[in-house]
Structure formats: C-alpha cells, structure tokens
Structure 1
Amino acid sequence: MRYILHILLFQCLVICLVNESANGQSTVTAAKKALHIVKRNAVLLESVQQLLVVFNETPKQNSAILVAMEKKNKVWRVIFTPIPVGIGRKGFAAPRAKREGDQQSPTGFFRLGQLFCYDKVVNTQMPFIQTTSEDKWIDDTDSPDYNRHIRGKTAAKSYENLKIRSDEYKYCMAIEYNMHPVVKGMGSAIFLHLSEGEMPNPSAGCVVLTQSDMERLLNWMKPELRPSILMGNEKVLMSGLLIQ
C-alpha cells in the first residue's frame, strides 16, 4: 500500500511540474491565452499556418511564454507544451515604440526569416546559411546596410558577429522586425536564438530559448506554412493589434 501511495505521489508531482511554466502560469492557462490571442488577431494571421505566440503578463517582465501553433482547416491548435523564453531586459515595447538600444523586444506580427546555423547539417526543413566568421548583422543606424545581414567587409561602425565563441547563435533565426521597409533607429538584429545556459535568459531584445526547445521548433517548421511570430504583452495582444 505504501509503495502504491509513493507511486501516486510521484505521478502527481510530475504532473504539477509539467503543467507549471517558468512564469508561474499553468501550461493549460498559457495555451488558452494563446488560443484567445490568435482569435483576436485572426485577420493578421490569415496567410500563415505556423505561428509562435510569445507573451508576458506585465509589459516590463523580461521572461515570457512561447506557444507553438499550427492552423489546419482554418482551426488553430497548440502543437507543443508552452515554452519559457527570455525577451528584452526591459520587456516588450508598446506597438511601434521599439527603438535601437532600448533593451526592449518589439511588439507585433512578423515573419520568421533567415536561419543561420553553425553546423553544416541541421534537422530542419527551413533553408539556412551555415555561419562563418564573415557573417554580420549591421546595427549602425547610419549605415546603408542597417538591420541587414552581410558577409565580408563593412564600413559600418557597429554590427553583430553571427558566429561567436558561445553557442548562443548556434541556431539564430531572424525575426523580420523593421525590415519591410527598414526605418533608421527603429531597432535591429531581433533574433530567435539560444540561451547562454540551461535556462532562458533576458536579452537586448531577442527571444531566447534553450537548445532543445529550439531544435524541436526547427524540426517542426515548414517553409511552405509561412512560420511567423506574434509577440507582445498579453493584454495588448488580446486587444487585437489592428486596433492599437
């Protein structure tokens, strides 16, 4: 009898741990919020079938929840257990308020763009560039290449190297914020990339997750389903971005 009780207690503990997110939200609650968010932003999402919904509870919170979703027969479904992620050190900027160097993540709906990988072989259907020491992302607001990837020499005064000593950019996917068109000073180099350690960490504005979670997402993504990201404070997203 005691053995059976121990087994039951262990199972309850596992269920509690699995259902509790890094933000203190249950995974069930996070999934329900994501479903409400996509419903409120249905017009924006008409052309995409794969979506990452990233949201925090309070605007300045530098941790968030990522919910991967896929649309089939016009119905959105949650694909994975919600994932804890890091975002900008000062949380999410208000819609259209993101600025270069403000340590905030942008709010909005963006396509997921170019993927950069250190390795030659990656378990993904997404097209990718194998990163070299010559790959850079320009963050100099006075450069004609501002918020663009270049390979080779540059006259830009500042840029991010896309191959660094750590594994943070081992998988690095551009979030196409401020790219169509590029507006000077509105922010640059917003990526989906790996954390410094075993837990997601805050960033200068990127969305940060663990390697195992990133690999799961890359394995799931399909270019023909137009993977995109919808990100911001939950209250803003639940109000609908088209009315902001």
Structure 2
Amino acid sequence: MFLYANEQIILVVAEEFNSTKAKLICFEDNRAVFGPIEVNLGAAGVAFGVGERTLLKTEVEPIKKEGDKKAPLGIFTLDAVFGYEKEMNIKMPYLHATKELICVDDSSSKFYNQIIKKPKEAPASYEEMRREDAQYELGVTVGHNKEQIPQMGSCIFLHVEKSIDAPTAGCTSMKMEDLKKIIHWLDKSKNPTLIQIISAQKKELLELYPLLVIVP
C-alpha cells in the first residue's frame, strides 16, 4: 500500500549512519513549505528505530538501543508539544514541563518511555522535563517505541539545541527560532509525521510517498 504525503511531514535526511548533522524540510500537501533547516542528531549517529512502518535494513545495519546515543531512523508520529510556558496557543496537545514531570528511560519500569508526573517511588532512571538549561524549553514528542519494548530506546524528542554543533543523546535538535516555527505550523488534525532517513534511503521513501518532492 502506498502512503501519500497529503498531510504534514517533517523529513530529516542524514548523509550516513555516523552522521551527527542532517537537513530538515517541512512538507504539507506534498509540497515543501519551509526548510532546509540544519539539525543535530545523536552523538553516535543514527540507527533503525521502532516506528509506524519498518524501513528495509540489512543484518549489519545498526538498530537503536537504549543509551546508544543514536537518533532513530524510521517513520514516526508527532504526538504532542512540551515546554516551560504554562500554556501555548498551538494546534497540538501541550504538556507543561513542570519540575514534577519526567520521562522514564528505565526499561524495567512499567512507565518506560512515558512522560509522567514523578511518583513517590521514582523509577531507577529518568529525565527531568524541566531542565536547568534551555534544551527542553520547547520540544515535540516523537512516537518512537510506543509499544515500550525494553531496551529499544526512549524519550525521543525534537528539542532546542545545546549549541550550534552539539550532537544529542539520541534526539533531533535545532535552533529555538526554527523549532518555534515548526511548532506553530504543526496541526494534530493533519497527522504530523517525522521521517528520518539516511541519503541512501531516498528511493525507498519515494516508493512509499510517490508524490513527495525530494531534492536529490
């Protein structure tokens, strides 16, 4: 079955598996609406993640694991926006990142890969969603590993970059001004999707989205 790019798509293309930088372009109704935007990827590059659809891979190509510092390749839903402001006038579900909000990266926890209010008995490992720096001042939750498969990776976001050339622990980061533009464009009713690939996967992507116009 073909997938048609008639809604909102954020396409991130890295050159190869060890790339820590990539180009991001936003599409709506098959047309590029803005970009390219330079983004940062995982400090260890990229690997195949768990998304809405599995892309073709060979036995020797990397699979994302918890703590591997690789950003996930694949097709993922974009589920909600989070930030330090109490409210935002946007077209996406919004999570206020209070000091009590955490994202659980402990594979043994029933809350693995979920954003929750910190319980009295906290998981063994988690990320605070209200950090001392500005990296989570604004962000988008990526629907990676929704089935909470242990050790397959957690807490994947689009978020504010630490600095212009700073890779991430597995997320996709960018300048605040670019992220704001994306967040105010996103519309939950248009099923926003993140597609992250390496350059060699462009042909496969076009077989799934034959109407999508991708610059060679």
Same fold (TM over 0.5): yes
The secondary structure found in structure 1 opposite 2:11 is strand
Range that drifts further, 99-108 or 116-125: 116-125
Q: Distance in 2 between matches of 1:62 and 1:98?
A: 15
Q: Distance in 1 between matches of 2:142 and 2:207?
A: 20
Alignment-derived partner of residue 222 in structure 1:
187
- Match of 2:20, as an amino acid? N
- Match of 1:54, as an amino acid? V
User: Is structure 2 residue 132 aligned with structure 1 residue 165?
Assistant: yes
Query: Which structure dedicates a bigger proportion of its chain to helix?
Result: 1
- Match of 1:43, as an amino acid? F
How many aligned positions are there?
Answer: 195
Alignment-derived partner of residue 21 in structure 1:
none
Alignment-derived partner of residue 101 in structure 2:
135
Q: Distance in 2 between matches of 1:119 and 1:155?
A: 25
- CA deviation map 1:1-48 (0-9, x unaligned): xxxxxxxxxxxxxxxxxxxxxxxxxxxxxxxxxxxxxxxxx82446x6
The secondary structure found in structure 2 opposite 1:106 is strand
User: Is structure 2 residue 157 aligned with structure 1 residue 203?
Assistant: no
**Alpha carbons of structure 1 residues 237 and 107: separation in structure 2 relative to 1, 3 Å:** farther
Alignment-derived partner of residue 154 in structure 2:
188
Q: Distance in 2 between matches of 1:237 and 1:183?
A: 27
User: Is structure 2 residue 134 aligned with structure 1 residue 175?
Assistant: no
- Match of 1:170, as an amino acid? E
Q: Distance in 2 between matches of 1:131 and 1:95?
A: 25
Q: Distance in 1 between matches of 2:88 and 2:122?
A: 32
* Alignment TM-score, normalising by the size of structure 2: 0.84
User: Is structure 2 residue 3 aligned with structure 1 residue 52?
Assistant: no
Contact residue 200 and residue 209 of structure 1 kept, 8 A: no
Q: Which runs of 5+ in 2 are unaligned?
A: 51-62, 209-216
Q: Distance in 1 between matches of 2:132 and 2:124?
A: 21
Range that drifts further, 159-168 or 144-153: 144-153
Q: Distance in 1 between matches of 2:78 and 2:45?
A: 20
Contact residue 85 and residue 201 of structure 1 kept, 8 A: no
Q: Which structure ranks higher in relative contact order (CA pairs < 8 Å, sequence separation ≥ 6)?
A: 2
1:95 deviation in Å?
Answer: 5.7
**Alpha carbons of structure 1 residues 174 and 200: separation in structure 2 relative to 1, 3 Å:** farther
Contact residue 123 and residue 218 of structure 1 kept, 8 A: no
CA RMSD in angstroms, aligned pairs only: 2.0
Identity %: 30
User: Is structure 2 residue 82 aligned with structure 1 residue 116?
Assistant: yes
Q: Which runs of 5+ in 1 are unaligned?
A: 1-41
* Alignment TM-score, normalising by the size of structure 1: 0.75
- Match of 1:164, as an amino acid? R
- CA deviation map 1:47-73 (0-9, x unaligned): x600100011122110001010001xx
Alignment-derived partner of residue 55 in structure 2:
none
Q: Distance in 2 between matches of 1:201 and 1:68?
A: 22
Task: Pick one of 37, 56, 61 that aligns with 2:19.
Answer: 61
Q: Distance in 2 between matches of 1:137 and 1:241?
A: 34
Q: Distance in 2 between matches of 1:189 and 1:238?
A: 29
- The structure that has the greater radius of gyration is 1
The secondary structure found in structure 2 opposite 1:81 is strand
Q: Distance in 2 between matches of 1:208 and 1:200?
A: 10
Alignment-derived partner of residue 59 in structure 2:
none
1:123 deviation in Å?
Answer: 4.5
Alignment-derived partner of residue 66 in structure 2:
100
